[in-house]
Amino acid sequence: MPELPPLALIPAIDIIGTFVFAISGTLTAADKKLDPFGASVIAFATALGGGTVRDLLLNLRPVWIQEERLLITVFISVLITLLFRKEIGRFRKTMFLFDTVGIALFTILGMEKALRLGVPPLIALVMGVVTAVFGGVVRDILCNEIPLIFRREIYATACLVGGAGYLLMRLAPVPPGVPVWVAVGIIILIRVLAVRLKWAFPNLKSEE
C-alpha cells in the first residue's frame, strides 16, 4: 500500500476535527438546555462516535482509549464553548465550514485506515462515511432528533461521492497525495453547493 505524505498529519487532523465536532456537539446540547455533564456526553459522542464505531467494526481498540489527547481535546472544547457560547454562536457559518472540512478529512482518513488493514475498497468506503457522520448520528439520537443523514439534506452522499472518487484516483497514475486533497475538495464542494443551492432528495411518502 503506497504511503501518502499528507496522512502524516493524522494526529493534527484528529485534534482539529475532534475540537470542531466537540464544539458542534456542545452547541447542540446548549440548544437542548442540557447541563454541563450532558453537554460533555453529547460533545464526546459527536467528536469521537464515528471513529469509535469504525474501529469497533474493524476489530480495533478506539484511538481515544489508547491516547488521552482526544478526550482532553473534547473537554477543553466543552469548557471553551460553555464559557464563550455567545461569541462562538456568532460564527455558526464558520462552524459549518469547519464541520464540512472535518467530514471531508475524516472520510478519507477513515478509508485509508481501513485500506491499510486490507479491507476491500467498497467496505473501506463505508468505513470512511461511518467515520465522518456517525458521531452526528449518535448526537442526534441522544438529543431526540432524526439524524441529519436520514433527512433530505445532502450530507453523507457528499462523503460517498468524494470517497468513491478517492478510490478511483488511487488507481490512476497521479502523484501520491493528490487523490487525498482532490477527494477532500469534492466533498467540501458538494456539501457547500448543496446548502447554498438547497439541493435535497425528495422525501418518501407513505402509501395510503
For the chain, the structural domain boundaries read 5-196
Long-range contacts of 176-184 (CB under 8 A, 24+ apart): 176/2, 176/3, 176/4, 176/5, 177/4, 177/5, 177/6, 179/4, 180/4, 180/6, 180/7, 180/108, 180/112, 181/6, 183/104, 183/107, 183/108, 184/101, 184/104, 184/105, 184/108
SS3 category, 176: coil
Q: What percent of the chain has pLDDT over 70?
A: 88
pLDDT in tens, 55-104: 999 999 998 898 889 999 999 999 998 898 877 767 667 678 778 888 98
Specify burial of residue 120 (Cβ count, 10 A radius: 0-12, 13-18, 19+). Answer: exposed
Does residue 129 contact residue 107 with C-beta atoms inside 8 Å?
A: yes
pLDDT in tens, 145-163: 888 777 767 888 999 999 9
pLDDT at 40 over 50: yes
User: What is the distance between the alpha carbons of residues 103 and 160, in angstroms, rounded to a whole number?
Assistant: 11
The structure's pTM equals 0.83
User: What is the distance between the alpha carbons of residues 145 and 65, in angstroms, rounded to a whole number?
Assistant: 28
